[in-house]
Amino acid sequence: MRFRLRNTFWLPLCVFVCALGPSRAVRASNSDESMPAASAAVRVQRVVDDLKNRLAIPQAVNVSIVERNPLMASVGPDSQNAEAFQLSFDAGFLERLSDEDLEAAVAHELGHVWIFTHFPFLQTEQLANDIAMRVVSRASLVPVYTQVFERTQTTGDVKKYLGDPPPSAP
């Protein structure tokens, strides 16, 4: 596998990963409207915490659900805590994810966190997926990319991001 070295410290992270950008967070309050967002954030945070442990990522990764994230999901340094990261999910995209899809999407995003903390100049979608595939299957990442392409009304080649599927066992 080839990796390109980049000459910037923090990189925009292609398809569904980048610094947070101009999204508005959905915050929990006592209103009925925010309860789904609060429970969604709890759902995502549980997956994050589980996968962080499995990937041996000690840094805090805080979850926010936003009304709009053009990348569907993104991760970047937390502006409030230099030693933590902020994972942001587009609320509408998150609603469409099954538990397996969510786990795959979070694993991919945590792949970027892992890379950032180990080799920040090697950020690529392929490497983030390689890290993700330590804890989820390649097959589980395919529908996530499909949904991202669909929701962003773009076309993309899943093989470009995930490589060729393994040969079938005879």
101-126: pLDDT as tens digits: 999 999 999 999 999 999 988 888 99
> Can you read off the two tokens belonging to residue 146?
């499909």
Please answer whether residues 65 and 37 qualify as being in contact, where contact means their C-beta atoms are separated by less than 8 angstroms: yes
pLDDT at 112: 96
CATH number at residue 89: 3.30.2010.10
103, 91, 89: which is closest to 141 by C-alpha?
A: 103
Q: Is 4 within the bounds of a domain?
A: no
Domain hosting 134: range is: 25-162
Q: Is 112 within the bounds of a domain?
A: yes
Q: Is 6 within the bounds of a domain?
A: no
Low-confidence ranges of the chain (pLDDT < 50): 1-33
Cα 25 from Cα 69, distance rounded (Å):
10
3-class DSSP state of 58: coil
Cα 120 from Cα 115, distance rounded (Å):
6
Q: How far is CA 34 from CA 23, 65, 113, 131, in A?
A: 16, 10, 28, 33
Q: Is 87 within the bounds of a domain?
A: yes
Q: How far is CA 4 from CA 8, 26, 104, 127, in A?
A: 12, 36, 24, 11
Cα 20 from Cα 142, distance rounded (Å):
24
pLDDT at 170: 56
Cα 153 from Cα 18, distance rounded (Å):
18
Q: Is 142 within the bounds of a domain?
A: yes
pLDDT at 156: 87
Q: Is 149 within the bounds of a domain?
A: yes
105, amino acid identity:
A
What's the number of domains the chain is made of?
A: 1
pLDDT at 166: 82
Q: Is 148 within the bounds of a domain?
A: yes
Q: Is 16 within the bounds of a domain?
A: no
